[in-house]
A and B are shown apart, each in its own frame.
Chain A
Amino acid sequence: MQRYIIGRVLQSVVSMFVVSMVVFALVRFSGDPIQIMAPPEASQADIAAMRAYLGLDRPWPVQYWGFLTHALHGDFGQSVRFRRPALDLILERYGATLELGGVAVLIVIVVALPVGVYSAVRRGTGLDYAARAFAALGQAVPQFWLGLLLALIFGVLFHLLPTSGHGTPLHIILPGLTLGWFAVAGLMRLTRSAMLDVLGSEYVKLARIKGLPERQVIWKHAFKNAALPVVTFAALLFVALLNGSIIVETVFGWPGLGLLVIEAVDSRDYPIVQAVVLFLSAMYIGVNLLVDILYGYLNPKIRYSA
Chain B
Amino acid sequence: MTRSIDRRTFLRHTGTTAAVIAGAPLFASSRAAAAGDRLVVAVGQWGTETPFAWRHVQAEKPLWDCVYDPLIMRDPKTFAYRPGLATEWKPSNEMRTWMFKLRSGVRFHENWGELTAEDVKFTVEQSFKPDSLGGSAYFFRNQLDRIETPDKYTVVMHFKTRAWILPSLFTQYVGYQNVISKKYMETVGEQKASVHPIGTGPFHHVEGKQGDFHRFEAVPNHWRKTPGFKELVIRRIPEPATRLAGLRAGEIDIAQVFGDFLEQAQKASLRIHETPNAAQYWVILTGQTTPDREDYCPPCPWVGDQKDPKSWENGRKVRLALNLAVNKKAIMSGLWKGKGSETPYSYYYYPFNKGYSTDWKLPPYDPERAKKLLAEAGHAGGFEVRVNPYVQLVAQDGPDVMEAVALDWEKIGIKVKRVPEATSSFGPKGRLRKTGKTFSVYGSPPFDEPVAGWERVIHSKGAFNLLLDGTYDEEIDTIVREFDAERRAKLTHDLGQKLYDGYHGVMLGMKTITWALGKKVGSWQMLAYVPAETNYDSVTPA
A49: B residues at CB distance < 8 A? 130
Q: Are B212 and A166 touching (Cβ within 8 A)?
A: yes
Q: Are B133 and A253 touching (Cβ within 8 A)?
A: no
B130: A residues at CB distance < 8 A? 49-50, 53
Known: A81-B49, A164-B251, A250-B238. 10 other contacts (CB 8 A): A37-B134, A46-B141, A54-B131, A82-B194, A89-B210, A148-B245, A164-B246, A165-B251, A250-B239, A260-B211
Task: Using CB atoms, name the residue of chain B closest to A162.
Answer: B251
A34: B residues at CB distance < 8 A? 133
Expressed in whole angstroms, the Cα–Cα distance for A37 and B423 within the complex equals 12
Expressed in whole angstroms, the Cα–Cα distance for A102 and B138 within the complex equals 47
- Asked if A39 meets B135 with Cβ closer than 8 Å, knowing A162-B251, A164-B237, A169-B26, the reply is yes
A47: B residues at CB distance < 8 A? 133
Expressed in whole angstroms, the Cα–Cα distance for A226 and B122 within the complex equals 69
Q: Are B138 and A43 touching (Cβ within 8 A)?
A: yes
Which interface residue of A152, A159, A253, A260 has the most chain B CB atoms within 10 A? A253
Expressed in whole angstroms, the Cα–Cα distance for A250 and B242 within the complex equals 9
Task: Using CB atoms, name the residue of chain A closest to B268.
Answer: A156
In this assembly, does A196 line the interface, its C-beta being within 8 Å of a C-beta of chain B?
Answer: no
Q: CB within 8 A of B191: which of A32, A36, A83, A93?
A: A83
Chain B contacts to A: CB under 8 angstroms? 22-23, 25-28, 30, 48-50, 55-58, 130-131, 133-139, 141, 190-191, 194-195, 209-213, 235-239, 241-242, 245-246, 248-251, 422-425, 427-428, 431-432, 456-457, 461-464
Q: How far does the Cβ of B157 sit from chain A's closest Cβ, in whole Å? A: 17
Q: CB within 8 A of A156: which of B235, B236, B248, B422?
A: B248
Closest 9 CB pairs of A and B: A35-B428, A255-B212, A41-B138, A253-B237, A163-B245, A40-B456, A40-B463, A155-B249, A156-B248
Q: How far does the Cβ of A165 sit from chain B's closest Cβ, in whole Å? A: 7
Expressed in whole angstroms, the Cα–Cα distance for A165 and B428 within the complex equals 32
A171: B residues at CB distance < 8 A? 26
Expressed in whole angstroms, the Cα–Cα distance for A41 and B50 within the complex equals 18
In this assembly, does A259 line the interface, its C-beta being within 8 Å of a C-beta of chain B?
Answer: yes
B246: A residues at CB distance < 8 A? 155, 163-164
Which interface residue of A39, A159, A171, A260 has the most chain B CB atoms within 10 A? A39
Q: Are B425 and A41 touching (Cβ within 8 A)?
A: no
A164: B residues at CB distance < 8 A? 235, 237, 242, 245-246, 251
B190: A residues at CB distance < 8 A? 83
Expressed in whole angstroms, the Cα–Cα distance for A162 and B30 within the complex equals 15
Task: Using CB atoms, name the residue of chain A closest to B423.
Answer: A266
Q: CB within 8 A of A36: which of B58, B138, B139, B427?
A: B427
Q: Are A168 and B26 touching (Cβ within 8 A)?
A: yes
In this assembly, does A197 line the interface, its C-beta being within 8 Å of a C-beta of chain B?
Answer: no
Expressed in whole angstroms, the Cα–Cα distance for A267 and B191 within the complex equals 20
B461: A residues at CB distance < 8 A? 43
In this assembly, does A177 line the interface, its C-beta being within 8 Å of a C-beta of chain B?
Answer: no
Expressed in whole angstroms, the Cα–Cα distance for A88 and B303 within the complex equals 50
- Asked if A151 meets B57 with Cβ closer than 8 Å, knowing A169-B23, A253-B237, the reply is no
Expressed in whole angstroms, the Cα–Cα distance for A171 and B249 within the complex equals 14
Expressed in whole angstroms, the Cα–Cα distance for A52 and B49 within the complex equals 23
Q: Determine chain A's interface SS by DSSP, over half rule.
A: helix
Q: Are B424 and A259 touching (Cβ within 8 A)?
A: no
Count, A-B residue pairs, CB within 8 A: 152
A142: B residues at CB distance < 8 A? none
Q: Give how many A residues have a beta carbon under 8 Å from the other chain's beta carbons.
A: 57
Q: Are A81 and B249 touching (Cβ within 8 A)?
A: no
User: Can you list 23 A-B pairs with a CB-CB distance of less than 8 A?
Assistant: A34-B133, A35-B427, A35-B432, A37-B134, A38-B133, A38-B463, A39-B463, A41-B139, A46-B133, A46-B141, A49-B130, A50-B130, A50-B131, A83-B50, A165-B251, A250-B238, A250-B239, A253-B235, A253-B242, A255-B211, A259-B211, A265-B424, A267-B424
Expressed in whole angstroms, the Cα–Cα distance for A270 and B336 within the complex equals 37
Q: Are A43 and B211 touching (Cβ within 8 A)?
A: no
User: For window 11-67 of chain A, which residues contact chain B by CB distance below 8 Å?
Assistant: 30-32, 34-43, 46-47, 49-50, 53-54
User: For window 151-205 of chain A, which residues contact chain B by CB distance below 8 Å?
Assistant: 151-152, 155-156, 159, 162-169, 171-172
Q: Are B456 and A41 touching (Cβ within 8 A)?
A: yes
Q: CB within 8 A of A82: which of B49, B141, B422, B427?
A: B49
Q: Are B424 and A31 touching (Cβ within 8 A)?
A: yes
Q: How far does the Cβ of A40 sit from chain B's closest Cβ, in whole Å? A: 4
Q: Are A253 and B238 touching (Cβ within 8 A)?
A: yes
In this assembly, does A268 line the interface, its C-beta being within 8 Å of a C-beta of chain B?
Answer: yes
Chain A contacts to B: CB under 8 angstroms? 30-32, 34-43, 46-47, 49-50, 53-54, 81-84, 89, 92-93, 95, 99, 102, 148, 151-152, 155-156, 159, 162-169, 171-172, 250-253, 255, 259-260, 263, 265-268
Task: Using CB atoms, name the residue of chain B closest to A163.
Answer: B245
Expressed in whole angstroms, the Cα–Cα distance for A48 and B146 within the complex equals 25
B57: A residues at CB distance < 8 A? 37, 39
Q: CB within 8 A of B211: which of A31, A151, A263?
A: A263
Q: Are A168 and B133 touching (Cβ within 8 A)?
A: no
B136: A residues at CB distance < 8 A? 41
Q: Are A84 and B191 touching (Cβ within 8 A)?
A: yes
A37: B residues at CB distance < 8 A? 48, 57, 133-134
A155: B residues at CB distance < 8 A? 245-246, 249, 251
B30: A residues at CB distance < 8 A? 167
Expressed in whole angstroms, the Cα–Cα distance for A42 and B139 within the complex equals 9
Q: Are B211 and A83 touching (Cβ within 8 A)?
A: no
- Asked if A255 meets B432 with Cβ closer than 8 Å, knowing A35-B427, A38-B133, A163-B245, the reply is no
Q: Are B191 and A156 touching (Cβ within 8 A)?
A: no
- Asked if A172 meets B431 with Cβ closer than 8 Å, knowing A39-B57, A49-B130, A81-B48, the reply is no
Q: CB within 8 A of A163: which of B58, B212, B251?
A: B251
Q: Are B131 and A169 touching (Cβ within 8 A)?
A: no
- Asked if A53 meets B26 with Cβ closer than 8 Å, knowing A164-B245, A251-B239, the reply is no
B463: A residues at CB distance < 8 A? 38-43
- Asked if A39 meets B133 with Cβ closer than 8 Å, knowing A148-B241, A168-B26, the reply is yes
- Asked if A266 meets B242 with Cβ closer than 8 Å, knowing A50-B133, A82-B48, the reply is no
Expressed in whole angstroms, the Cα–Cα distance for A113 and B349 within the complex equals 65
B50: A residues at CB distance < 8 A? 82-83
A255: B residues at CB distance < 8 A? 209, 211-213
Expressed in whole angstroms, the Cα–Cα distance for A47 and B190 within the complex equals 22
Q: CB within 8 A of A35: which of B55, B241, B431, B457?
A: B431
Expressed in whole angstroms, the Cα–Cα distance for A260 and B48 within the complex equals 12
B23: A residues at CB distance < 8 A? 169
- Asked if A46 meets B48 with Cβ closer than 8 Å, knowing A39-B133, A156-B248, the reply is no
